[in-house]
Every structure is written in C-alpha cells, then in structure tokens.
Copies of this chain bind each other. A is one copy, B any other.
Amino acid sequence: MLLSKGCIYGLRSSLFLASQENDGYVSIREISEKLDISFHFLTKILQQLTSTGLMESHKGPKGGIRLTKSGSEVNLFEIVAAIDGVELFTECALGLPGCGVKKPCPLHEKWAGTRDGIRYMLENTNLMELAKKGKEQNLRITEHGGFEWLLNNDCNDAS
C-alpha cells in the first residue's frame, strides 16, 4: 500500500474541505460522517495537519477545522509529507538503509526515477483543481457519495 490509512483519510478530508463553498470551520464530526471515517481516528489525523500548519482548528460551538491556505495553494505532497513523512520519497525500494550516501544498489537509477514520478505527481496536484474537477464532473469522494451533496441540488439523478 502506497499511503497509510491515516494519510488517505487526510487527503480525503482535505479535498472535502477544499470543496466547501464557504470558508468557515467544518466540524470533524461532519467530515467523519460524510466521508465515513472513524471520528476519533480522524481527529488525530487532522491534529497532525493542524500542527504542521496546513489546517487550523477552533473549539466550541461553531468550531471545527478548515484549511489555512486556499485549495490552490495546497498540493497533495504537503499533505502526504505531513502525515506519512517523506520517507517514501527518500528511501529505498529494496529497504537498504543509507541510500544515496553510500554505494547505490543496481536498482537505484530506475527506482529513483519512479519515486520522483510519484513525488512530481503529488507536488503538481493541488486541492483546488481536484475540487473543481470533482464538482464539474460530479465525481466521487467516498465509496458511494460524490460531490453532489456539496452543491445545492444541482444534479441528483446523475447516478
């Protein structure tokens, strides 16, 4: 599995927040219900994103969580790095420690290229473009539900 569950949940939540029409706080409870993620588990994951400054939270009624920057300023790599760390993009396909510093293994060049490909894709994809695309084409953000319940009531029979 490329990304941890926590990272996947973080990405989905970020996309959900970027898709909101207004920029107010959204409660973690609402996110967990809409995206079908365990509330307490999600709370911990989002804490990681607030501690790195990608999101900000507010307690009490009317509280919740929101992106600090606009969706177009947040790329997927930032989110992955905040939750799973950068190991995926620095470590070795063969699990050998100390890559790059010491003598490489025969797979290195090919693996480094592939690894950079993953990174490039994540760095060059921002939340805004995904949210925009999801809304326009009414794509999905959870197993069954999509972006239709983010819009007012545009297209409900698109199946």
Of the residues B76, B97, B106, B139, contact of A131 by C-beta under 8 Å? B106
Interface presence of A34 (CB below 8 A): no
**Is the beta-carbon distance between B121 and A114 smaller than 8 angstroms?**
yes
Contact between A140 and B105, CB atoms less than 8 A apart? yes
Q: Cβ of A44 < 8 Å from any Cβ of B?
A: no
Distance between Cα atoms of A91 and B146 in the complex (Å): 18
Those of A79-125 within 8 Å (CB) of chain B: 87-88, 91, 93-98, 102-108, 110-111, 113-114, 117-118, 121, 125
Please determine whether A106 and B15 come into contact, CB atoms closer than 8 angstroms. yes
**Contact present for B111 and A121 (CB under 8 Å):** yes
Alpha-carbon separation in the docked complex, A137 to B107 (Å)? 12
- Which of B91, B97, B102, B117 is the one whose CB lies under 8 Å from A117? B117
The reply to whether B107 and A125 contact each other, CB–CB distance below 8 Å, is yes
Q: Is A8 interfacial (CB 8 A cutoff)? A: yes
Is A5 a contact of B95 with CB atoms below 8 Å? yes
Which residues does A use to contact B, with CB under 8 Å?
1-3, 5, 8, 11-12, 15, 76, 87-88, 91, 93-98, 102-108, 110-111, 113-114, 117-118, 121, 125, 129-131, 133-134, 137-143, 146
Known contacts A104-B140, A114-B121; 20 further A-B pairs (Cβ under 8 A): A1-B1, A1-B88, A2-B93, A3-B95, A5-B95, A8-B93, A8-B94, A12-B94, A96-B140, A103-B138, A103-B140, A105-B134, A105-B139, A105-B140, A106-B129, A106-B130, A106-B134, A107-B130, A113-B121, A114-B117
